[in-house]
Amino acid sequence: MKTINKPNTRFLMGNEAIARGIIEAGCSVATAYPGTPSSEILESLTRWKKEMGHNIYLEWSINEKVAFEVAYGASLAGARSAVTMKMVGLNVASDPYLSATYLGVRGGMVLIVADDPGPHSSQTEQDSRFFAWLAKAPVLDPSTPAEALQMIRRAYELSEKYEVPVMLRPCLRVCHSRQNVTLNDPVDSTYAGPFKKNWTRWAAIPKFRLALHAELNKKLEKMTQEEPECSLFLEHQGSSDKLAIITSGSVSSHVFDLIREEPQFAMFNVFRINMPFPANKAALQSIVDNHQKTLVIEETYPVIELQIDDRRKLVGRLSGLVPSQGELTPEVVEDVILEAIGEKPRTRPDVQIKARRPSLCAGCPHRSSFFMLRKVFDKGIYPGDIGCYTLGTNMGAVDTCLCMGASIGMASGFTHAQLEESRPPVVATIGDSTFFHAGIPALINAVHNKASFTLVLMDNSVTAMTGGQVTPASEQLADGSEGTPVDIEAMIRACGVKFLEVVDPYNFEELQASFERSYEYSVNKSMGVSVIITRRPCIRVKGVQLSSDRYTVLDNCERCMTCIRDLECPAISFEKESKSVVIDSDTCSGCGFCVSVCPCGSITRKVS
C-alpha cells in the first residue's frame, strides 16, 4: 500500500472527506447505492483507491438492503466495513439494520446516511437520527467536512468497542460544502480474526434475541456515561443565563456564524452535541435547569428535545418555535433566535426569482417514450417511478411516484381495482437501475397474480439521476474493473413475462408499432403484463456519441405547438417577437424525433 509521507491539506467536498476518512480508518470493504446527496462518497473512494494504491473493495450494490448486508457480512468476517446511502435508502435497508444492532458486529461497521432537509432531491425530509433511535444504535452528527472525516475514525472505534454498527449522518450542507481538510496516513486494514460460529448470536432465535436486546440496552447506557460525544461541548461562553442554545450537526454551523456576527447573540451560551443518540440525558437536563430558557436547534426532527424529560423551559420544534418542515437556513435560524429572546424577525428584501421547472435533457430517450406512451395509451393511468423519468410529469405521462420500484406494484393495484366495464389502460414506467433495485419482485408478483398492464422499461444503461453510476447490467464495477453483466431481458423472462420487445426510442415507427402491439396484448386481450424495453444510452454518459445533425423549422409551420406542448423539448421554443417556433442548435442533441412528431411536416434537417 502506498502511503502519504506527511500530513497535507486538500480543499475537499464533504463526501470526498468522508471517503477519505473511510480509507484512513483502515476499512476493507465499502458498499453503496447511489442517491443524492450521498452518491459522491463511493465515487470519491474509487479515486482515493487509485491515488493511494489502496486495496479496499468497493461495490455499487443492487439496492441499499443488499449493500448493508454485504458490509455486515464483511464485518462478521473480521474486517472494517462501510455502507453509504441517502436517507430514503435507509428505509430499504431498515430490515437488516434493525436486526444487526441486536446481533452486533465484529470488525467495525459504519453506516453513512446522508439526509436531505428541504427536501432538495428526495421524497421526504425524514431524519435518520430517529432511525438510529428506533434501531437503538449510536449516531454521530457532523457539522463540517473536516469533522465528518474525524468522526468516521471515531465511529469505527466506538463500533468495535461496543460491537454495534455506528451511523454517521451528514446532511446535504455537509455532503456538498467544501473546506480545507487535513489528510493523514491510513492505518493498516484492521482484522478482528476469523469468523467463529455461534448460532445463538449470529443466527439467534427469538429467545436469544431477548437476551441480545438486554445487552444492547446496557451498551447504550454505558455509552452515555463514558463517551464524551454523548454529552455536550460548550462551544461559546456567554455572559448571561437568559438563553442557552443546544445544537447539533450541519445547522450548528449557522448558529456559530450568527453568534460571531451578531453582538446581541454573543451573551448566550451555545452547546453542541456530537452524538444526538444516545444522549446523556442528565447533561442535557442540567443545561435546561441552569438557564432561564433553552433553545434547541436541530435538523430535522426533535431527536435531542425528546430526550429531555423536563421541557417546561425548553423551546424548539415541539413548542412550535422552530419550523416543523423545511431546511433551517441561516435566515430561518436567525429569526428563530430573535423570536426566542422576544424580538421581531428581520425584515429582508423579497427577492423574486422566476422558477423554471426541471425538464428532461434535449435528446433524452425517455422523452420520445413518454410522447409515444401518451399517443398510443391516451387517457390511460401512468404509474411512475424514481429517476430522471419522473419528469414525465411535465408531459402528462406520469401520474404517481411513490418510491423505488412502486410503479409496477401500483400498476397491479390499478389493474385489479378497476371495476368499470371500460377500464382505462395502465402503463407503468421504470428505469433499468430502479428495476434491478426494487422492480423485480413486483414484476414477479404482477405476473403470478395475472395483472394485465404495460411496463415500459427505460434502459439508458446507467443510474443517470445520481450521476451515471453503473448498474448490474454494466460490464464494469465501481472501481472500473471488469464485472459480470446481468442480462435484463433474461431477468424479465425469468419473471414469467411472455410479451417482451426491445426498441430504439429514437425510431418513431418501430416505437409506435411496439406500443400498439402491447396495447392489443395487455388492454384489448388482457393477456397479462407486456414489457417494452426502450433502449438508448443516456446522452450524458461519457463516451456516448451524439449526432451532428441539427434541425430547423420551415416557413410552413402552422404554430400548432405540438412540438412544444407535447414533446416539451428544451431545444424548441416559441419566439414572441417573430411569432415563430425556433430550434436552438446549441441545445439540440440531434436525435431528430421532432421531425416525426410535427403534424405539419415543418421540421427538417439542416443542410450543411
Query: Is residue 219 scored above 70 in pLDDT?
Result: yes
Task: Find the length of the chain.
Answer: 608
Q: From CA 242, how far away is CA 239, in angstroms rounded?
A: 9
Other beta carbons within 10 Å of 201:
17
- Per-residue model confidence (pLDDT) at position 540: 84
- Per-residue model confidence (pLDDT) at position 54: 92
b/e sequence 357-382, b meaning 16+ C-beta within 10 Å: eeebbbbbbbbbbbbbbbebbeebbb
Strands (E), 170-308: 178-183, 232-236, 243-247, 269-273, 293-297
Report helix, strand or coil for 500: strand
- Per-residue model confidence (pLDDT) at position 7: 61
Percent of residues, the chain, with pLDDT higher than 70: 98
* Residue 6's pLDDT band (cuts 50, 70, 90): low
Q: Which three cell numbers stand for residue 17?
A: 472527506
Which residue carries 431524519 as its cell? 127
pLDDT tens digit sequence for 154-180: 999 999 999 999 999 999 999 999 999
pLDDT tens digit sequence for 415-463: 999 766 678 999 999 999 999 999 999 999 999 999 999 999 999 988 8
Query: Is residue 349 scored above 90 in pLDDT?
Result: no
Q: What Cα–Cα distance (Å) separates residue 196 from each residue in 91, 189, 282, 290?
A: 30, 20, 39, 50
- Per-residue model confidence (pLDDT) at position 463: 86
8-state DSSP, 505: T
Packed helices 87-103 and 64-76: angle between N→C axes, nearest 10 degrees: 30
Other beta carbons within 10 Å of 332:
17
Percent of residues, the chain, with pLDDT higher than 90: 78
What are the φ and ψ backbone dihedral angles of 136, each rounded to 5 degrees? 60, 50
The stretch 370-382 carries a mean pLDDT of: 94
Q: From CA 14, how far away is CA 114, in angstroms rounded?
A: 11
* Residue 352's pLDDT band (cuts 50, 70, 90): confident
The stretch 148-153 carries a mean pLDDT of: 96
Instruction: State the chain's mean pLDDT as an integer.
Output: 92
* Residues linked to residue 269 through DSSP beta bridges, in sequence order: 244
- Per-residue model confidence (pLDDT) at position 50: 93
- Per-residue model confidence (pLDDT) at position 419: 65
The stretch 557-579 carries a mean pLDDT of: 91
Q: From CA 262, how far away is CA 360, in angstroms rounded?
A: 44
The stretch 273-302 carries a mean pLDDT of: 96
- Per-residue model confidence (pLDDT) at position 545: 83
Answer whether 60's CB lies under 8 Å from 32's CB: yes
Query: Is residue 4 scored above 50 in pLDDT?
Result: no
Q: From CA 154, how far away is CA 132, in angstroms rounded?
A: 17
What are the φ and ψ backbone dihedral angles of 202, each rounded to 5 degrees? -75, -20
- Per-residue model confidence (pLDDT) at position 347: 82
- Per-residue model confidence (pLDDT) at position 264: 87
* Residue 543's pLDDT band (cuts 50, 70, 90): confident
Helix (H) or strand (E) holding 573: strand 572-575
- Per-residue model confidence (pLDDT) at position 262: 87
Q: Which three cell numbers stand for residue 514?
A: 411496439
The stretch 13-42 carries a mean pLDDT of: 96
Helix (H) or strand (E) holding 109: strand 109-114
Answer whether 147's CB lies under 8 Å from 177's CB: no
Burial class (CB in 10 A: 0-12, 13-18, 19+), 129: buried
* Residues 263, 173, 391, 123, CA torsion sign: negative
Answer whether 223's CB lies under 8 Å from 274's CB: no
Helix (H) or strand (E) holding 350: none
Q: Which three cell numbers stand for residue 583?
A: 430550434
Q: Are strands 293-297 and 243-247 parallel, antiparallel or unpaired?
A: parallel
8-state DSSP, 106: S
Q: From CA 443, how far away is CA 405, in angstroms rounded?
A: 9
Burial class (CB in 10 A: 0-12, 13-18, 19+), 566: middle
**Who wins on pLDDT, 149 or 607?**
149
Residue 569's contacts (CB-CB under 8 Å, 6 or more residues apart) are 362, 363, 367, 563, 594
CA angle 489, 491, 492 (to 5 degrees): 65
Query: Is residue 356 scored above 80 in pLDDT?
Result: no
Would residue 516 be called left, alpha or beta, if left means φ above 0 and alpha means ψ between -120 and 50 degrees?
A: alpha
Query: Is residue 2 scored above 60 in pLDDT?
Result: no
pLDDT tens digit sequence for 243-272: 999 999 999 999 999 998 888 898 999 999
Answer whether 532's CB lies under 8 Å from 501's CB: yes
Query: Is residue 411 scored above 60 in pLDDT?
Result: yes
Packed helices 145-162 and 206-226: angle between N→C axes, nearest 10 degrees: 130
Q: From CA 162, how far away is CA 359, in angstroms rounded?
A: 48
Q: Compute CA 181 distance to the chain's CA centroid, rounded to the nearest angstrom.
A: 25
Query: Is residue 587 scored above 50 in pLDDT?
Result: yes
- Per-residue model confidence (pLDDT) at position 237: 92
Q: Which three cell numbers stand for residue 454?
A: 404495460
Q: From CA 164, how far away is CA 109, in angstroms rounded?
A: 8
- Per-residue model confidence (pLDDT) at position 351: 76
